[in-house]
Amino acid sequence: MSPTPATAAVRVRRAELSDLDDLVALEEATFDSDRMSRTQYRRHLDSDTARVLVASANRRRFLGTAVVLFRKGSSVARLYSIASKPEARGKGVGSALIEAAEAAARQHRCRTLRLEVRTENHNAVRLYERLGYHRIGHHEHYYQDGSHAWRYEKALA
């Protein structure tokens, strides 16, 4: 059997406290700036205005995460963070997380999902565009390290 699962084996569920170590380790391995701390993750786990999702294989093996934020009274949800483990990339984990993020946004009665992405993050940009996201803006020096961002959004059916 392949060590990394195909799309069909990827499950996305709500994150639990027991996922904190994996969440923080992936955050630190993935992002050099604008990182979420353990405290922030913990707060999001308990929050009504956040949904932390975990992709896993066979329920246990942690493959990636996405964080969706909501605002009271707003029909726009925000895909705040998404990452899959380096060895699991290119196998549908990111796509499964985005679909689950969209489902979570719909559950919160949101009509739009928005996100920001580094302009040079070509893998992510291609993935978002393939999944139906449209570029709606550009933000100079959006990130702590001075990188620029595209803003994308998708209307949720």
Ligand X SMILES: CC(C)(COP(=O)(O)OP(=O)(O)OC[C@H]1O[C@@H](n2cnc3c(N)ncnc32)[C@H](O)[C@@H]1OP(=O)(O)O)[C@@H](O)C(=O)NCCC(=O)NCCS
Residues near ligand X, by CB under 6 A: 30, 82-84, 88-95, 117, 121, 123-124, 126-127, 130
Distance CA 30, CA 82 (A): 10
CA neighbor of 33 nearest in space, from 147, 112, 134: 147
Whichever of 124 and 156 has its CB closer to ligand X, that residue is 124
Q: Which two tokens stand for residue 100?
A: 């689950």
Closest distance to ligand X from the beta carbon of 91 (Å):
5
Q: How far is CA 91 from each of CA 34, 37, 46, rounded to the nearest angstrom?
A: 26, 27, 30
**Residue 73: CB minimum distance to ligand X, A:** 26
Helix/strand/coil (H/E/C) assignment for every residue in 71-93: CCCCCEEEEEEEEECHHHCCCCH
Smallest gap from residue 153 Cβ to ligand X (A): 13
Q: Judged by CB, which is closer to ligand X: 70, or 142?
A: 142
Exposed / middle / buried, residue 59 (Cβ in 10 Å: 0-12, 13-18, 19+): exposed
Q: Which is nearer to ligand X, 53 or 83 (CB)?
A: 83
Task: Give whichever of 32 and 48 is closer to ligand X, judged by the CB atom.
Answer: 32
CB of 18 to ligand X, least distance (A): 21
User: Do residues 98 and 66 lie in contact, with contact meaning Cβ atoms separated by under 8 Å?
Assistant: yes
Instruction: Rank residues 35 and 109 by Cβ distance to ligand X and give the closer one.
Output: 35
* Minimum gap (Å) between residue 145 Cβ and ligand X: 13
